[in-house]
Every structure is written in C-alpha cells, then in structure tokens.
C-alpha cells in the first residue's frame, strides 16, 4: 500500500489548460502527460512538488498546493522514465499493421491526357510517415533532409507537396494529442543513428504547435549532434507566416 502524506504537489486547473503540452517536457520526472486534450498528472508518486513546470505554462494553469498525496518515490520515478525510453527504443514497428511496412518508391510523371483536370503529383517518397511508426534505422532517414510536420499543416497549406516535401524525408506528429515523451525519445534516436543533414519543423501558428519546435530542439540537444534546425509557421487560413 502506497504511503500518503501532507506535502506539496502540483495542481492543474483544467478550465485554464489549453492542452498546449509545453509543461510535459519541463517535468523531468515524466509526471505530466496530455490526455484528452488536457494536461494530467500521471501519478502523484512521480511528482516531486518542486514545480519546475509552473513557469512553462502559458495559461497559468499549474500551481503547487499542499495536500495529502502519495509520497514522491524517486526509485519508482527513475524506473518509470527508463521504461518510457525502453518501450520506444526499438527498431521494429509498434504494430503489426501491413500498412505500416517500410516502403520507398520512385516518383514518375503524371501521364495525363489532354483535357483531363490537372493533377499535381505527390512528392512523398516513402512510407510510413507517422513518427510513432517510423523506426530510427529506416533507410529513408539516412543522410536525409528531415521535415517534421504538424498533422494539420498539409490540410491548411495547399502547395505543401511542391513547396516543402520534394527531396525530403517526412515525419508527422502532433505535440498536443500525441505522446510527447515518446516522440521526443524517437526523434532523438533518429538524430543519433541516421546522420540527418538538417531538420525543418513545419508547424501551425496555434500556440500548442510550438511544442513541435521545442521537441526538435530538445532532440538535437539530447542527441549531441549539431543538426541545423529551421522553423516554418503556417497560418490557420493557409498563409505562410515565416
């Protein structure tokens, strides 16, 4: 039975929380995750109550309060973090779905006949594209110019393929709805093992999307590789912001 005691521990005001996810990487104990679009305390055992995440929350949704809670367990927290890394430090795909099989393909001409509606060819050169499904040793990542794209970008920016995707390896993720720590671990492994030439983050202008750039910078720092990083922002109306 876990011991409970009166101590300091974080409190999250869900009415204020917008689910941006910037607090998640700020918690080195891995006590916070985004669940159903809101920051949640995974376990009281993992929270040391020091409040390192407070200053990262742009909405002021996180405070430290004193109440009865499970005691902070340093050993359990260490095991939790090690398990998180171990679970995602694998070369195999995390599911048996045939659609996740690694594939590379060459792009051909459109072969259109006169009078047919113009069809812009796809610039995608590999499969899969979801960061969760791509192993760090995937051959298309080797010496690649890597494009890390927020899920919403291809829907908002009409010229996505021709403007950004040609001759780049693509990874797709969402810093708000996906498992941030898992993605950070995977991206770090990719940078360590694949000798990526450059990393471009293509994000939306909404605040939660800033977590994708933060993830990329953290992954570069953790990988100990000097990978050039560029950020491009797309407006919600499809305009190029930067």
What the chain holds in terms of domains, given with CATH numbers, is: 4-87 (3.30.70.20), 124-234 (3.40.50)
Under the banding of pLDDT at 50, 70 and 90, the label for residue 145 is very high
At 160 the three-state DSSP class reads helix
Which of residues 31 and 115 earns the better pLDDT score?
A: 31
| 47 CB-contact burial (10 Å; exposed 0-12 / middle 13-18 / buried 19+) | buried
pLDDT, tens digit, 9 for 90 and up, residues 82-108: 766 555 444 444 444 555 556 666 655
| 169 CB-contact burial (10 Å; exposed 0-12 / middle 13-18 / buried 19+) | buried
| 160, pLDDT greater than 70 | yes
Gap between the Cα atoms of 236 and 242, Å rounded? 13
pLDDT given at position 85: 55
pLDDT, tens digit, 9 for 90 and up, residues 178-212: 888 889 999 999 999 898 999 999 999 998 899 99
Gap between the Cα atoms of 174 and 212, Å rounded? 7
């Amino acid at each position: 039975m876990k011991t409970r005691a009166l101590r300091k521990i974080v409190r999250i005001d869900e009415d204020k929380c917008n689910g941006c996810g910037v607090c998640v990487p700020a918690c080195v104990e891995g006590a916070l995750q985004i669940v159903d679009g809101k920051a949640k305390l995974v376990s009281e055992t993992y929270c040391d109550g020091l409040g390192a995440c407070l200053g990262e929350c742009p909405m002021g949704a996180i405070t430290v309060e004193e109440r009865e809670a499970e005691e902070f367990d340093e050993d359990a927290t260490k095991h939790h973090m090690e398990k998180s890394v171990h679970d995602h430090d694998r070369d195999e795909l995390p599911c048996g779905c045939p659609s996740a099989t690694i594939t590379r393909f060459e792009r051909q001409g459109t072969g259109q006949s006169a009078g047919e509606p113009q069809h812009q060819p796809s610039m995608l050169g590999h499969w899969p594209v979801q960061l969760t499904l791509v192993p760090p040793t995937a051959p298309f990542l080797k010496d690649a110019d890597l494009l890390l794209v927020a899920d919403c970008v291809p829907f908002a920016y009409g010229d996505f393929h021709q403007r950004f995707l040609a001759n780049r390896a693509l990874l797709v993720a969402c810093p708000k709805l996906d498992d941030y720590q898992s993605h950070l671990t995977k991206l770090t492994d990719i940078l360590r093992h694949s000798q990526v030439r450059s990393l471009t983050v293509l994000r939306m202008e909404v605040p939660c999307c800033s977590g994708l750039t933060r993830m990329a910078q953290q992954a570069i720092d953790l990988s100990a590789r000097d990978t050039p990083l560029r950020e491009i922002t797309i407006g919600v109306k499809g305009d190029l912001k930067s």
